[in-house]
Structure formats: structure tokens, C-alpha cells
A = this chain, B = another copy of it.
Amino acid sequence: MKYPVPKPTAPVNTTAPSSLANRGMAFEALLNTTNDAYRQQGLAVIHKKPTPIHVIHIANKGSESYIDKAFFEQPSTTDYNGVYRGHYIDFEAKETRNKTSFPLGNIHHHQIEHLRSITLHGGIGFILINFSQLTTVYLIPAHALCEFVDAHPRSSLPLEWIKEKGTVVPLGYTIPVPYLLIVDQLFFK
């Protein structure tokens, strides 16, 4: 007697979601979820820095006091830093709808210089670029980025160059953007 063999179905918890955009979360939110998971698992302590805001005036209305005039400031460093396996980690995360390149105008010059000095001081520096239309996140080490910028200032990183110098970060569910897998490969060989 032959029992019917069930057809394979998609596992409930796949490791590669079809699209970051489809999941209705911004790249920043996915990175915050990732960093929360890394902290909870005791793997790393990495936080997003607060957005710098220049406070001009604070209102006092009765018992309530709040900021009633303030401006967003340019960040002087990157957005994320922390400690992993005893090492200093520092990175910037960017998103683009472009499909063939990443315009360097999206990263401030002083952020690139910050990453350069992190590398010079023995820290681990990189950028993460989410090509939202390609559903692909690349990790690009700071030293490669700085080399490119020195040779081609005010340019764009071509996707071909990114594929050569960068590494794809496989996307997941519990840990949406598990970039430390790539950090392990590149910096802890």
C-alpha cells in the first residue's frame, strides 16, 4: 500500500524574505531589530546613535515643559557603533532605489573620513547599502570605500564595483539583516 507523499511546502520560517520593502519596515527599523536581537543573544552590543538635534528653546506651560524650537543637525559620525568580540564596530547604513549604482552624495564626506580614521585606529568600519529595488544588502568595508573615494571623488559606486568589493548580507527573519555573519568572514578570518 502506498501512502500519499505530501508535496513539499514552503517552510513557515524562511531565511530569505522576498523583499525588505514588502515587509513594510524601513531599513533602519530592520537594523534596530537586528541589533536588539544581537544584544539579547549576547552576541554584540551595537546601538544606533540618536539623531543630533540643536535645541533652540524650551517651553514651560504649567507643569509641562517641552522643546518648542529645534533643528536637525548634520551627524558628525556614522549612525551605528558598538562592540563585537572585543572589537570596535562602526558603520553607516544607506538605502537607494537605484539599480545600477550608489551615488556617493548620499554619504557625507566627514562620515567617510570618520570611517577612514576608525580603520586607522584598528576598528572595524563598513557601510551597509540596501538596494531596495534589488532586495539586496551589501556590506562594503571602509578601506575599499576610502580607496574608491580617493580615486573617484564626487562619483557613484557602480553596482559592478560593489559586487566585487562588497559582500551580500543574506536576509533573515529573527535577525533581519545579519551583517555580523559577513563581519566574521571578512574581519575574523
Q: Bound state CA distance, A138 and B157, in angstroms?
A: 47
Count copies of this chain in the complex.
2
A152 adjacent to chain B (CB < 8 Å)? no
Closest residue on chain B to residue A84 by CB atoms: B121
Residues of A within 8 A of B (CB): 39, 42, 44-45, 47, 49-53, 55-56, 66-73, 75-77, 81-90, 114, 117-118, 120-123
Are B86's CB and A121's CB within 8 A? yes
Of A39, A68, A88, which is in contact with the most chain B CB atoms at under 10 Å from its CB? A88
The 10 closest A-B pairs by CB, nearest first: A86-B122, A50-B52, A83-B88, A83-B123, A88-B88, A67-B70, A50-B50, A83-B121, A53-B53, A49-B49
Q: Bound state CA distance, A66 and B83, in angstroms?
A: 34
